[in-house]
Structure 1
């Protein structure tokens, strides 16, 4: 999809064609759309295609008068009743004539960004740096939003696991743990890109630009800390529940072993008196009652010993 935005009186609006300056937003673009943008704005073709590789890592590339910045953004996925968060690359290309964003698929960051820009007074596309840093700020805040949702999911799944102790809840927690790993990796890589931009090697930054960039870094590092904390909590929770499940299994096995020993005694007596040899009491009319009494007494003694030793 190709969308072209222009700034009119500080408000973004859609434009029918590329005009300068403008913001060109490419999400899941077709070859025709890529070709149109490439020819209209003279963009390096590799700059347009790098962000379409799902495994692309965050980085900065400067070629002549064109700057490519790649960051990774959250990508929520729902599969078979589970929710998992991964990350996908998003590219921002700065040229003298336009700002271009390229992404594999539609992402909530664009909607958040448009809402944020409409709140900025006297916004203009003539200076791309404030646009760029506001976009980075939206990426950091969307990470924070999803991390808060993950925190709620962890609490919900813990309660379900406490009630049922099923594999399904453990798999849900495992998906969340994977999501935190993706987030932590992407956020740290994004932080490196932001630090490189702060050096001033790629962009000429004013005091206001540096202040806005520092705000973005604070948000991004807060997300890094939250992802690490939640990951540590989740790892400890899963280890604790694994220990609980193992302990419950040991308790069950101990009970079954004790019950087997108790039931073995009557079986032993019955087996002995089932032999085809001369045995005491075999001619007594009360032999059955006597033998059953002896069996129950022996079993009772063993049960009492087990209770004393807390084996039951």
Structure 2
């Protein structure tokens, strides 16, 4: 796990890369956060050429390190660009392969999955890419287990995001994985961005303009987030919104790309993580206050989301590192 700024994140930029994804990486991993009392990452930019023309020639990037900076990356964010049919430069692919071979974590935003697939690093592995390129990706890389219509895929040491906005989702997921839910929530608040959208949510979310009244879910979500410890059900949410459960389900799908139950469960797990990080040792208390009910359900849900048991999560992210949780 990264310890402060000792974990180096390197963003590799290639000819015709997208400025938006570059900015997402800088915002999540590169900005100083003095209010936390420590830096989360040591961030660097690198490029294959001294002058790198960005997408559509909007500007040219200069003054960044060469590809040798990738040799020191603990996490390497691989290049993306919209011209997915143009092969990547061999020196770029070689740098990505070397990073992976020595154990660096690879992250691909949007078409970054094409870079990793061209390097031969996704064969037999799960990956995400933008829905617009899914068909061509499958045709070119049939050995990759492409996950259609998801925001991002975490396959351990290789992570891929489907599109531009989901670069922020994946970036926050990485921060959450490295530093815990509390720190990830802080970063998301700085971004004024949703703190947690699960990777399995749909890429394409319909947001129709209402004909008569505002049907935004925001007031309902805020109301529910203040009552996660209560025995809320989907029926309770529907009653609060004054719609049928079926209508509520359609609105969640349209506005959030998930179901009411999945959203409620994800919010409860996130709250449980924050309670553990703040020092609550009793699993039954964490389960009750987060609305997960029992210690057994807490263990199951936390392991499913984070890959860690509650005690392992506390050792990694909690205030009392090294102490065991009390059942």
Provide TM-score, normalisation by structure 2.
0.29
Q: Which has the higher strand share?
A: 1
**Higher RCO (C-alpha 8 Å, min separation 6):** 1
Q: Between Structure 1 and Structure 2, whose CA radius of gyration is higher?
A: 1
Provide TM-score, normalisation by structure 1.
0.30
Q: Which has the higher helix share?
A: 1
